[in-house]
Structure 1
Amino acid sequence: MIHLGTLTITYAGIASAIAILTALIGTLYWMLHPPKSKADLVAKKAETQLKTQLGASIVVFSSDIRSEHMMVLASKLARGQRTVLLAAYVIEVPFTLPTHAPMELEDRAALDILAAAEVIAKNNGCEVRTEIIHHRQTSEAVLELAKREKANLIIMGSYREGKYTGAPLSRTIETIAANAKCDVLIGVEGKHGTLLVEEEPEPVTATVPVLHAE
């Protein structure tokens, strides 16, 4: 027991005061930092995994695979996660030509597409590397590139084997998705969707010289 003039303090009183103060502090902390819900914990875990897993992301283009709409998504994703973004255009070389044979029309088309990809990335505050690949098969080229770049994500548009309703996705898309050693994000248009559907351009009649092999 402690006497301070007319005030008497007991050790039991001190202990009680400390206990009350501790409980008060704990209550205030709980009020300011409420426990996270299950949804919050799941979301946090997903964000952590995404930051850990995302390395190089590859956006694939070709004469059949149009990925401009996916480039916008890829740019925003790469900017948010500060990941490396690579836009690659694959040109399929026929077996009648050497793999590295110049293909002026195809190379020019590739340069135009990749220039557009650079603009999309820039408009979304993201830096992007570009590369043109000559290969016999698009699927093999993409898989080899993903392995070389140690990619964690392949992003691409899609196309179907036919123009009829319900046509399956192309074998190229399926081969990449089935054999990639990383995640593959494919933009597939829905039956009633409009975001991933491109308007059909007016048909243009042009005269194209035909080369016959001797």
Structure 2
Amino acid sequence: MKGIVFDFNGTMFQDSDLHELAWIHMIKQYAKENIAEQEILLNIHGRTNDEIIKKFISADLSAGEVAILGMEKEKNYRMLCLQDEQRVVLTKGLAEVLDTLKCAEMPMTIATATTKENVDFYFERFQLSQWFDYDKVVFDDGTFPGKPEPDIFLKAVKNIAILPENCLVFEDSYSGILAASKAKIGQIIAVDNTGANKELFSNPVLNISYTIKDFTTFQL
């Protein structure tokens, strides 16, 4: 592979449960009807805030109202992160892999469905600038559809001047892996930190090369 694109949440940082808690709290607070937590969990990963809010709260909200709710959710999520700072660490083995990739001068970037405010938070907390060019990171800016559409990865590979078929993507969510597959990414490595997605990730339509628990077993 000639370039690498990393998803962030659930891949570089094991925080999926914190996002889930923040979304469940918001949706239960603002939705007009009672929505099962399982339905929420099945429809939030990899999708943009706009898509999630319109699906679960109201499709009739104005852009301004959606933005306000999105900011509220992300503020709550960051507060949850800071309540337990010991867990605000990169996925096991990742820092060492990033150091190796940097020494090898491997083109790489991050493609995340999260917002700019969260990306800023991550760059500060994890000192990501030692490995990544902030200006090449792709995040939800409202200009493209969320995963499972391929746009986020097509934009990411363009930012590092690599063809999709020559790129490797690390992803943890079904929708994200499907997006990478639709983008014709050359190699997809699934990250399943808990082993909960073993059966789900066996679906051949996803074109997963193999699955890792963390980055201690990844070799370039």
TM-score (norm 1): 0.40
Would you tell me which structure has more helix in proportion to its own residues? Answer: 2
Would you tell me which structure has more strand in proportion to its own residues? Answer: 1
TM-score (norm 2): 0.39
> Higher RCO, 1 or 2 (CA under 8 Å, sep at least 6)?
2
